[in-house]
Structure 1
Amino acid sequence: MAQDTARQAPVAPATPARGLLPLVLPALVVGVGASLLYLGVSGLATELQHALWENLPDALGVGRYSVLWMLVVLTATGVLVGLVVWKAPGHAGPDPATLGLAGTAPLPYPVLPGLLLAAALMLAGGPSLGPENPILLANAALAVRLGRGAVPRLPGEAWAGLGEAATIGALFGTPFAAALLLSEALAGRPFRGLLWDNVFGPLVAAAAGALTTTLLARPSFDLDVPALDRPRWSDLLSAMAVASAGALLGMTAVYAFPYVHGAFRRLRHPMVALPAGGLVLGLLGALGGRLTLFKGLDEVAVLARAPDAWSAGQFATLAVVKLAALLVAASCGFRGGRIFPSVFIGAALGLCAHALFPAVHPSVGVAAGVLGLLLAVTRHGWMSLFTATVLAPSPAMPALLCIASLPAWLLVTGRPQMQLREDGTAVR
């Protein structure tokens, strides 16, 4: 018995309460501030979007989403963002193709205005990217700069973690997404003490960010697709098939990413690459229609509210065009993230499966399609499962998606990621 006890691994000591309590106030402040920054940038982008796509074309007597207006606005957006990237301090941050969702070194303070302006212009102009990466970078940098000045005893890494967690909470309106991402990050490196001690401060920040966003903006990721009341064996097979198809579709973009990025990189100057990318996005918008513009979260709700309103061919066209738009926007230099457009692509794929095979329940198709796309594009398993689950909430959905994630994960793990090194090669 004594020998068995001696062989047991040492138990990591828990952090005492007096070591965690000093984190609460800084985490609350960072959480509220991160949400306010996110809401401010989003609000500015929304006002600019109304001006560009409604007020201005109405004043000029041009169709709001006509082919001509799509080409003009998206090309002009490329020109404006290119001007910011060219002239702003630090060129509005690093090449977004080289960035993951989190963990980037904090940016210098003078870079942030240009980064946020480029993100707001992108969100308003219609390229298929979301706000997550620029807001994460800005909030992490602000948390480090302001936090270390106020509470020097906390290291910069801790402040950056608070800023990132707060932003994830604010973006999704719940702290659970941040907690899941943190658990993935901590699993890849040694940490001291208990897991819950390590996520205590970031979880407070994420909760504060989520609550602030919820109180001020009332976001919802529930697409209101028909609920799955009682799962059948066929639903499990459908989920596995659609998630695997989503992973394969996402991997086509992943494998094409270095080549498309390299083509735009050869244009050398942002005032050439970004307008060229905007023009290509305008042509793709003309092909796919207005639903393939913007980050995709509002647009996917339009699809989900009427899953039988489009044919399988139309859903397939929306998915492919949006995937191409995501690939171009992420390659040519627009500042933005890839999660929200992937949600649209996955949902369109799942609804295409439902249109082809009515036995595929629409909520299963949507959730499984989003799961597969996100696994391919982000490689964050917990984040992908969480996002897919909240889009089509049902008591039976988490179990279906957990099983469906297994074959999809086998298709993507160990393969290139949708993130590039500085030399243009894919990260694995």
Structure 2
Amino acid sequence: MAEQAAGPASAPGIRALLRSPGYGRLLLVSAAVGVPVSLAAFGFVSLEHELQHWVWESAPKALGYGRAPWWWGLPALALAGLLLVPVVTRLPGRGGHVPVHGLGGPPTLPVEVPSVVLAALVSLPLGAVLGPEAPLMAMGSGLALLAVGRAQRAASPRLGPVMGAAGSTAAISTIFGSPLVAVVMMVEAAGLGGPQLTLLLLPCLLASGVGALVFTGFGHWTGLSIGALALPVVPKAGLPDAGDFLWGVPLAVAVAVVVVVAQSLGHRFAAFTAQRTGVRTVICAVLVGLCLTGYAVVTGRSPEEAALSGQATLGQLAADPQAWPVGALLALVVFKGLGWGVALGSLRGGPIFPAVLLGAALGVAVGGLPGMGVEAGLAAGLAASTAAITRLPVTSTVLAAALLGAQAADSMPLVIVCAVVGFLTATFVHRVTADAQEARQAPPRSAD
């Protein structure tokens, strides 16, 4: 349980903490670690983005196709599964944790970082319906722990978790579109208060700021793209009215249910791949490829829209929502949602980015209903989907505001309400599902 917020009685503890020489050295180490971690993260996301562009843009054109053909996802995902097998079965760390288990857990050990990087680079560019955020956080955590050393971690038990969190925030400092999102996520997920919150907050904030500076500088210098979650163009929104809330609240409920259903599917496939991992990982990768193929066949559109993390598709959707028929949006939710659910339990990557696209697609799909605009639907879908997948309503609100940019101020009342509704709905459905599962597993009661 999280500690209560610091009050007057805890103020001396905070002052003593901030004045202690050890904490000052911790802040210096956090700032110093932020530079190499961010450089490594920049190289990783730039390479992943370039590989993704080659697989889904350059290679089809080189073969004479104007875009990726409808069948492209099948061989791409089959190859991803085959390449992933030795990583998840033989290397230390098994390529990182299974995405359906979330972003939490203990810090990644340095020896596990190579498998995390390899698993992400063979999964994400080839079309795994997952994001780069989890591998980035694991890589940042492991590199930060490498900087402080095992002996120092053993001498100070709190050093490892704090440095791991600082490394993670440095690694994802701009992948969410704003370094502040990463800091809020780490703090809210930690569930701490008082001096412990201060102990975690300042190193994460410092490392994230340094990381954002490195990302920005190297992005301008090299001209490479990192494919951050961003909306270059956002539909102009006004202040939400009663119709926006009347449609927005049930939309948030529906989005949360979609996310939870996909997560439940992910848990089933995680159990499926726990045994005979090699063969079953390939089977799951092919199933993801079939979902991409199904989307392309049903809609006549590119399978790339349903593949990958959804960063590019999200930008296209926000820039020109009228170019997307409602049928195509619903097909995207169905096929990408199924592919995402399978990938959550079998491949390697992050769970957040695809959920954001699914929420945005549902929001735009209902945006044409009487009394609701596309702009309001987009804002509501973004907030509800992020809250449902992360179970962090404050982080979800900050992320939606960062994505909406100049339109965030007017949309904020609707964003907050939908983030809370999405969070509560996901919590309720998860609880009902867990209770039902416990009831099924409970031994039958003997008759008196």
TM-score by length of 2: 0.82
What is residue 348 of structure 1 aligned with on the other side? 361
Residue 180 of structure 2: which of 176, 186, 199 is its match? 176
Aligned-residue offset at 1:131 = 0.9
The structure-2 alpha-carbon separation of the partners of 1:178 and 1:48, relative to structure 1 and needing over 3 Å to count, comes to closer
Matching residue within 383, 387, 392 for 1:380: 392
Structure 2 CA distance for aligned equivalents of residues 10 and 127 of structure 1: 50
List per-residue Cα deviations over 1:289-337 (Å, max 9, x = no partner). Answer: 32001111111111111111122121111112111111111112x1101
Secondary structure at the aligned position of 2:15 is classed as coil
How far 1:12 moved relative to its partner? 3.0
Cα pair 2:356 2:382 within 8 Å, conserved: yes
1:390 aligned residue:
402
How far residue 265 of structure 1 moved from its aligned partner, in angstroms, is 3.6
Amino acid in the other structure paired with 1:224: V
Pairing 1:274–2:286 present: no
Q: CA deviation at 1:60?
A: 4.3
Match of 1:318 in 2: 332
Q: In structure 1, the residue corresponding to 2:308 is in which secondary structure?
A: coil
Whether the 8 Å contact between 1:168 and 1:177 is mirrored in structure 2 is: no
Q: Contact conserved, 1:15 with 1:197, CA < 8 A, in 2?
A: no
- The Cα shift of 1:280 comes to 1.2
Partner of 1:110: 111
1:40 to 39, 43, 49: 43
Structure 2 equivalent of residue 15 of structure 1 = 15
1:338-393 Cα offsets, whole Å, 9 max, x none, are: 111111111111011113x1532222211211222222222111221122222223
Counterpart of 2:443 in structure 1 is: none
CA distance in 2, matches of 1:374, 1:118: 24
Task: Give the Å deviation of 1:181.
Answer: 2.1
Cα distance, 1:50 vs structure 2:
3.3
Matched with 1:370 is: 382
Alignment of 1:329-344 (within 5 A): 329-332=343-346, 334-344=347-357
Worse overlay, 244-253 or 295-304:
244-253
Residue 89 of structure 2 aligns with which residue? 86
Distance 2:106 2:314 in 1: 33
Q: Show the counterpart of 1:302.
A: 316
Task: Using the TM superposition, name which of 370-379 and 173-182 deviates more.
Answer: 173-182
What displacement does 1:24 show? 3.5
Q: Which residue of 2 aligns with 1:246?
A: 255
Shift of 1:9: 6.6
- Runs of at least 5 residues in structure 1 that lack an aligned partner in the other structure: 1-7, 421-428
With 50-59 and 279-288 compared, the bigger mean Cα shift is at 50-59
Deviation at 1:405, TM superposition (A): 2.9
Counterpart-to-counterpart distance in 1, 2:146 and 2:327: 50
How do residues 24-423 of structure 1 correspond to structure 2 at under 5 angstroms? 24-61=27-64, 64-98=67-101, 100-102=102-104, 104-148=105-149, 155-187=159-191, 189=192, 191-192=194-195, 195-196=197-198, 198-217=200-219, 219=228, 221-266=230-275, 268-270=276-278, 272-288=279-295, 289-332=303-346, 334-355=347-368, 357=369, 359-393=371-405, 394=407, 395-416=409-430
User: Which amino acid in structure 2 is aligned with residue 316 of structure 1?
Assistant: L
The letter of the residue matching 1:276 is: I
Percent identity, aligned pairs only, is: 30
Q: 1:35 to 1:23 in 2, by over 3 A?
A: same
Length, aligned pairs only? 407
Q: CA deviation at 1:150?
A: 10
Give me the whole-angstrom Cα distance separating, in 2, the residues matched to 1:255 and 1:12.
Answer: 44
Q: CA deviation at 1:84?
A: 2.4
Separation of aligned partners in 2, 1:246 and 1:96: 19
| Contact residue 384 and residue 422 of structure 2 kept, 8 A | yes
Report the Cα distance in structure 2 between the residues aligned to 1:18 and 1:10, rounded to whole angstroms.
17
Amino acid at match of 2:416: C
How far apart are residue 138 of structure 1 and its match? 1.6
Distance in 1, Cα, partners of 2:109 & 2:396: 31
Q: Distance in 2 between matches of 1:220 and 1:107?
A: 24
CA distance in 2, matches of 1:269, 1:181: 32
SS of the equivalent of 2:201 reads helix
Residues 296 and 341, structure 1, Cα contact 8 Å, conserved in 2: yes
Q: Residues 397, 73 of structure 1: CA spacing in aligned structure 2 closer, same or farther, 3 A cutoff?
A: same
CA distance in 2, matches of 1:55, 1:150: 48
CA change 1:55–1:190 in 2 (3 A) is closer
Cα distance in 2 between the residues matched to 1:57 and 1:27: 44
C-alpha contact (below 8 Å) 1:254/1:376 kept by paired residues: no
Q: Which amino acid aligns with 2:137?
A: L
Q: 1:134-174: per-residue Cα shift (whole Å, max 9, x none)?
A: 11112112111212379777622221121122234232242
Query: Cα gap change, 1:254/1:90 in structure 2, threshold over 3 Å: closer, same or farther?
Result: closer
Counterparts of 1:90 and 1:222 in 2: how far apart (Å)?
34
Which 10-residue stretch deviates more, 32-41 or 209-218?
209-218
Which one is further off, 320-329 or 59-68?
A: 59-68
Corresponding residue for residue 3 of structure 2? none
C-alpha separation in 1, matches of 2:81 and 2:274: 15
Structure 2 spans left out of the alignment, 5+ residues: 1-6, 221-227, 296-302, 435-448
Q: For each residue in 1:210-253, what CA deviation from the matched residue of structure 2 results, as whole angstroms up to 9, or x when unmatched?
A: 22223333756235221213332222333323222211221222
Deviation, structure 1 residue 76? 0.9
Partner AA of 2:332 in structure 1:
L
For residue 279 of structure 1, report the CA deviation from its aligned partner.
1.3
The answer to whether the 8 Å contact 2:333/2:361 transfers is yes
Conserved in 1, the CA contact under 8 Å of 2:392 and 2:423? no
CA distance in 1, matches of 2:151, 2:167: 15
2:267 and 2:335 map into 1 onto residues whose CA distance is 19
